[in-house]
A and B are shown apart, each in its own frame.
Chain A
Amino acid sequence: MLKKSLRLRTLVAASAGLALASSVFTAAVQVAGLSGMGLAWLAIAVGGAVCVLAAWNFSELCAAFPNAGGVSVYVREAFGSTLSLTVSLLYVVLAWAAGAAEAYVFATVLSVLFRGLPVLSQIPPIVWVLATLGFFFVINLRGVELAGRVQDLMTYTMFGVLLVVSLAAWLLPGTAAGGTGVGAGVGAGAAGAKAIAGVAPGFGSFLQAIAYSVYLFIGFEWITPLVEESEDRMFLPRAMPLAVAGLAVSYALFAEAMATRVPLSQLAQSPTPHLLYGQAIGGNTGLLVLVAVSFLATFTSFNAGMMGTSRLVYAMAREGALPPALSKVHLTYFTPWSALLFMFLVEAVLSVVLIYTGQFTVPILLAAAIESTIYALAALAVLKLRKSQPGLERPYRAPGGAAQPVVTAVLFTALALGVLLPPTPVAVPVGFAIGLAGAWLYARFVAPRLAETSG
C-alpha cells in the first residue's frame, strides 16, 4: 500500500503557500486600481468565489483520477494527448511568467531593504534578480524541500502576520510612506513602470479587476498530484476551497488596508506596494515586518513552484515529449539539473527584460490569462468525462450539477478575455497568443516526432 500521510492542515498550507507569493501584492494593487471606490475586497471575494468553483472541478477530477500526473492526466482522459501536452507546456510558460515576476518583485524588496547601506546599495537591480533566481536554483539543485510541518508553520505564520498588519491600517497611527530610513524611495524601483491601476473605474473595469484577481490564487490546484498521499482522498475537495477562501479573506483585507493608508497612484507605480504600506503603518519596523513576509512568501511559493515545474519538464523529457537533454539527473543530489537550469535561464532572461522595460505587470497578467484558460479547460473536462465515462467511480462530485462546470467554463473564458483586453498592455495578449499557439503546435507536430525518435 502507498503511504498516506498528508493531513488536511498540510494540504491547505501547501495549496495556499503555492499561491501566496510576493508578486500577489503587486497584483492586488492592480485589482484595487481597477475596481475603484474601495471595492477591491469585493473584486477579490468574487475572484475567490469563482476560483472555488474551479477548485470543485479539480476536486472531482483528482478524486476520480488519483494520479500524480494531475491536470495533464485529466485533460488527456477528456480531450486526448495533444491538448494534455499543450496544457503541460502552458504550465511551463505560466511558471516562467510567474517566476520572472516573483524574482523581479523580490529583488526589488532586497534592493529596498539594503538602500542606504554603504556597499549593498550600490548593487544594481539586475544583480539582485540574478542572485534571487540563483539562490532558488541552487537550493532546488541541492534538493532542499520543506518538511510538511515547516510548510504548515510558514504558511499559517504568513496568514497570521498578514491579518495583523492589515488590521493595523485601522488601528495604528501612520507614518508617511516614502519618507526617510531604509524604506526611503520604496516606490522608486519602478521608475518608468507601466502600471494599470488608476484607470477610471466603472463596471467594465470592475469585471477586469475580478479577472486580474485570478493571479492571486494561481497555484492552489498544484496539490492535486498529492491526492494519493493524503490520509483521506476527500481531504483535497476540502483543502482547495479552504485555501482559496483563506487567501481571499487575507488578500481582501490587505488590499483594502493598503489602499486606506497609501495613495493608490503611489502603490500602483511600485512593484513592492506592500513595503510602502509597511512603512506607512509602522515606519522602518513595519517595513521590515513586510520584508519578512515577502521573504516567506517568495520562499514557499518560488521554491515549490520551481521544484514542481522542473519536475514537470523532467517528466515530459523522460516521456519523450521534450528533448532528452532535459532529463538529466544530478548524480550527487538526484535532482533534475538540466530542467532546473532551463527554467533558471528562461526566467533570468525574462527578469532582465522586466528590469529594462519596467513592465512588471505583464508577466502577472499573462499568468492570470493562462491560468484562467486552464481552469476553463478543467471545467470542460469535468463535463466531457461525465458524458464519456459515466460509470467512472467519482468519490467526489462537484456540486451544482451540469450547470456548474458550464458556468465555470464560461466565467473563466470571460475572465481570460478580460485580462487580454485593454487597458492591459499589448504585450500580454501577444505573449498569450504566442504561448498558446506555440504550445499547441509543439504538442501537435514536434512532440510526436520526438517521441518516435526517442522510442
Chain B
Amino acid sequence: MRRGLGARWRRVGLPAGCLAGFAEKVNAHKLVQKMMKDWTRNIVLDVTDSGSAWTLAVVDGKVAEVRAGRSEPAHVTLAAPEAVLAGIFEGKLNPAKEFSAGRLKFSGSSKDEMRLDAVVQYVWK
C-alpha cells in the first residue's frame, strides 16, 4: 500500500512525489502514529503558483490517500508556492520560518496547526 502510493505519485512530480514520501514516513513512525491516533482530517494543499491543489486524507492517524484536487470538507488548508510545500514535506524547509515569512498560509483550528507542526517535527527529526 505504502509502496504503491509512492510509486504512483512520484511520477507526477512535486509536490505529489514528496507528499507520498511524507505519507510513508508518517504511516511508519510509531510515535507519530500514537500522536495521530483518532485524527481524521482532510489536509488540503493549495499550490499558489500553479493553481493546483492536493489533499492528504488522514483517517485515524494514517495518511490513507494522497489525491489531486481539493476535497471537502477541508479541515486544514496549507497554501504556499510549490517549492515551499515541497521543501516542507521533504523536510528541507522549516514550516515555522516559512509561516513567519508569509510564504506559507494556514487555515484550520490552532490545535490542528500544532498537531501538524508536531508531526512534521517528529517525522524529520
Contacts and interface: CB of A to CB of B under 8 A. Distances in A.
A interacts with B:
yes
Contacts of A232: none
Interface in B77-115: 77, 79, 94-97, 99-102, 105-108, 110-112, 114-115
A319 B96 contact: yes
A3 B110 CA distance: 13
Contact of B94 (A65, A319, A334): A319
B13 to A, nearest CB: 24
Interface stretch (A67-75, A95-103, A424-432): A67-75
A145 interface: yes
Contact of B117 (A73, A320, A329): A329
Contact of A315 (B100, B105, B108): B100
A327 B121 contact: yes
- Name the prevailing secondary structure of the B interface residues: helix
B46 A73 contact: no
Nearest to B105: A2
Contact of B35 (A1, A143, A331): A331
Given A327-B121, A329-B114, A229 B102 contact: no
A318 interface: yes
A228 to B, nearest CB: 6
A3 B108 CA distance: 8
A73 B35 contact: no
Contact of A67 (B46, B95, B102, B111): B102
B3 interface: no
Contacts of A73: 100-102
B119 to A, nearest CB: 9
B102 A145 contact: no
Interface residues of B, number: 27
B59 to A, nearest CB: 18
A336 interface: yes
Contacts of A319: 94, 96-97, 100
B114 A334 contact: yes
Contact of A320 (B94, B99, B114): B94
Contacts of B94: 318-320
B99 A68 contact: yes
Contacts of A143: 110-111
A335 interface: yes
A333 B97 CA distance: 23
Contact of B46 (A1, A65, A228, A327): A1
A68 B106 contact: yes
Nearest to A2: B107
Given A228-B105, A318-B94, A69 B77 contact: no
Contact of B79 (A2, A145, A311, A334): A2
Contacts of A2: 77, 79, 105-107
A69 B77 CA distance: 17
Contacts of A318: 94-97, 117, 121
Contacts of A331: 31, 34-35, 118
Nearest to B97: A319
A315 B94 CA distance: 11
Contacts of A69: 99-102
Contacts of A334: 111-112, 114-115, 118
Interface string A1-38: 11100000000000000000000000000000000000
B121 A3 contact: no
Contacts of B99: 68-69, 315
A17 B99 CA distance: 26
Interface in B24-69: 31, 34-35, 46
A2 B80 CA distance: 11
A331 B114 CA distance: 10
B100 A229 contact: no
Nearest to B116: A334
Contact of B77 (A3, A145, A315): A3
30 contacts: A1-B46, A1-B79, A2-B105, A2-B107, A3-B74, A65-B102, A67-B100, A68-B99, A69-B102, A73-B100, A143-B111, A228-B105, A315-B96, A315-B100, A318-B94, A318-B96, A319-B94, A320-B94, A320-B97, A327-B121, A329-B114, A329-B115, A329-B117, A329-B121, A331-B31, A331-B34, A331-B35, A333-B111, A334-B111, A334-B115
Interface of B: 31, 34-35, 46, 74, 77, 79, 94-97, 99-102, 105-108, 110-112, 114-115, 117-118, 121
Closest 8 CB pairs of A and B: A318-B96, A2-B107, A329-B118, A67-B102, A334-B114, A334-B115, A69-B100, A3-B107
Interface of A: 1-3, 65, 67-69, 72-73, 143, 145, 228-229, 311, 315, 318-320, 327, 329, 331, 333-336
